[in-house]
């Protein structure tokens, strides 16, 4: 069995589950989102053991700083994928990202529950019937 010495970066990013599809990995590389030694890399660039990469997360809140520990060219299970790289992202960055995610989640919930401006069809019908199931403040009426 041949030992892998190098792999295309888009293929490796997909194989270790940092991106859901290889197309997404290639797009991130070609758009300058993935960096090696503070320089953008193309999707066809070769990755080797010991390389340090800056890879954006799926939600774009921060970049993970990872070190390539193992090479895989086919998608593998999650435990094997995590063993193929070492994450060196700082704790401060992870805490900031967690706070941003929490704020985004709360904002979504407020928008979902609160007054969203224009009434929906159901809210308008109920309002015309006098049911007042719409979410308007009583002061506005």
pLDDT tens-digit map of 107-140: 887 777 666 677 788 878 887 888 655 555 444 5
Asked whether residue 27 falls in the same domain as residue 85, the answer is yes
Asked whether residue 72 falls in the same domain as residue 95, the answer is no
How do residues 80-111 score in pLDDT, each as one tens digit? 999 999 999 999 999 999 999 998 888 887 77
Asked whether residue 16 falls in the same domain as residue 62, the answer is yes
Q: Compute the chain's Rg from CA coordinates.
A: 23
> How many Å apart are CA 132 and CA 134, to the nearest integer?
5
Asked whether residue 51 falls in the same domain as residue 73, the answer is yes
Q: List the CATH number of the domain containing 9.
A: 3.10.290.10
Asked whether residue 98 falls in the same domain as residue 82, the answer is no
Asked whether residue 19 falls in the same domain as residue 80, the answer is yes
Nearest by Cα to 70 from 41, 37, 47 = 47
In the chain, the number of structural domains is 2
Considering only residues 18 and 137, tell me which one the structure prediction assigns the higher pLDDT.
Answer: 18
Asked whether residue 74 falls in the same domain as residue 100, the answer is no
Asked whether residue 46 falls in the same domain as residue 107, the answer is no
Compute the average pLDDT of residues 67-91.
93
- Three-state secondary structure string covering 25-61: HHHHHHCCCCEECCEECCCCCEECCCCEEEEECCCCC
- Name 8's bridge partners: 46
> Is residue 4 within 8 Å of 71, Cβ to Cβ?
yes
Q: Give yes or no for residue 67 having a pLDDT over 80.
A: yes
Asked whether residue 24 falls in the same domain as residue 45, the answer is yes
Asked whether residue 76 falls in the same domain as residue 96, the answer is no
Compute the average pLDDT of residues 21-46.
94
Residue tagged 């407020």 (tokens): 110
User: pLDDT value at position 10?
Assistant: 95
Distances from the Cα of 54 to the Cα of 29, 87, 136, angstroms: 11, 10, 46
User: pLDDT value at position 48?
Assistant: 92
Tell me which residue range forms the domain holding 110.
Answer: 90-130
Q: Give yes or no for residue 68 having a pLDDT over 80.
A: yes
User: pLDDT value at position 131?
Assistant: 67
């Amino acid at each position: 069995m041949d030992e892998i010495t190098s792999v295309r970066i888009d293929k490796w990013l997909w194989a270790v589950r940092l991106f859901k599809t290889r197309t997404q990995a290639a797009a991130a590389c070609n758009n300058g989102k993935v960096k090696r030694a503070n320089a953008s890399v193309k999707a066809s660039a070769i990755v080797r053991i010991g390389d340090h990469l800056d890879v954006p997360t799926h939600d774009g809140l921060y970049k993970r700083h990872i070190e390539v520990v193992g090479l895989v060219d086919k998608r593998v299970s999650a435990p094997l994928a995590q063993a193929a790289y070492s994450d060196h992202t700082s704790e401060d960055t992870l805490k900031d990202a967690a706070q941003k995610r929490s704020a985004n989640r709360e904002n979504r919930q407020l928008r979902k529950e609160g007054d969203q401006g224009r009434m929906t069809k159901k809210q308008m019908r109920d309002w015309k019937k006098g049911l007042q199931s719409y979410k308007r403040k009583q002061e506005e009426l």
